[in-house]
Amino acid sequence: MKPDTDVLIAGGGIAGCLMALALARGGLSSVLCDSLPAQARGAAGFDGRAYAIAASCARLLDGLGLWERLQTFAEPMRDIVVSDGRIGAAPSPFFLHFDHREGDAGPFAWMLEDRILRRAALEAVAEEPLIDHRAPVRVTDHETGPAGASLTLEDGTRLTGRLIIACDGRQSAIAARAGIRHMRRDYGQTGLVCAVAHDRPHEGVAHEYFLPAGPFAILPLPRNRVSLVWTETPANARRIIGLPDADFHDELRARFGDFLGETRLEGKRYSYPLTLSLAEEYVRPRLALLGDAAHGIHPLAGQGLNLALKDVGALAEVLVDATRIGEDIGSPLTLERYQSWRRFDATAVALACDGLNRLFSNDNPLLRPLRDIGLGLVGRLPAARRFFMREAAGGMGDLPRLLRGRPL
CATH number at residue 34: 3.50.50.60
pLDDT by residue for the chain (408 residues), tens digit each? 689 999 999 999 999 999 999 999 999 999 999 998 877 776 766 566 899 999 999 999 999 999 999 999 999 999 999 888 788 776 677 778 888 777 666 788 999 999 999 999 999 999 999 999 999 999 999 999 999 999 999 999 999 999 999 999 999 999 999 999 999 999 999 999 999 999 999 999 999 998 999 999 999 999 899 999 999 999 999 999 999 999 999 999 999 889 999 999 988 889 999 999 999 999 999 999 999 999 999 998 888 999 999 999 999 999 999 999 999 999 999 999 999 999 999 999 999 899 888 888 888 877 877 777 777 676 666 766 676 667 766 777 789 999 999 999
136 preceded by a cis bond (ω within 30 of 0)? yes
Under 8 Å between Cβ of 218 and 226: yes
Residue 36 lies inside a defined structural domain of this protein = yes
Q: Is residue 208 in a domain?
A: no
106 falls within a domain: yes
Maximum distance among all alpha carbons in the chain? 69
Residue 356 in domain? yes
Helix (H) or strand (E) holding 209, with range, is: strand 205-211
Strand ranges across the sheet with 205-211: 95-99, 79-84, 205-211, 214-221, 225-232, 182-198, 263-279, 295-296
Q: What is the predicted pLDDT for the residue at 87?
A: 82
Instruction: Work out how many domains the chain is built from and give that number.
Output: 1
What is residue 225's DSSP assignment?
A: E
Domain assignment present for residue 306? The answer is yes
Strand-pair partners of 185: 276
Q: Which domain holds residue 352?
A: 7-184+276-404
* Cβ count within 10 A of residue 243: 14
In a domain, 202, yes or no: no
Cβ contact 74:111 at 8 Å: yes
CA separation for the pair 408, 391 (Å, rounded): 23
Does residue 228 lie in a domain region? no
Q: Which of 284, 287, 394 is nearest to 346 (CA)?
A: 394
Judge whether 263 lies within some domain.
no
| Per-residue pLDDT, 319 | 98
Q: Which among 13, 309, 286, 39 has a CA at the least distance from the CA of 172? A: 13
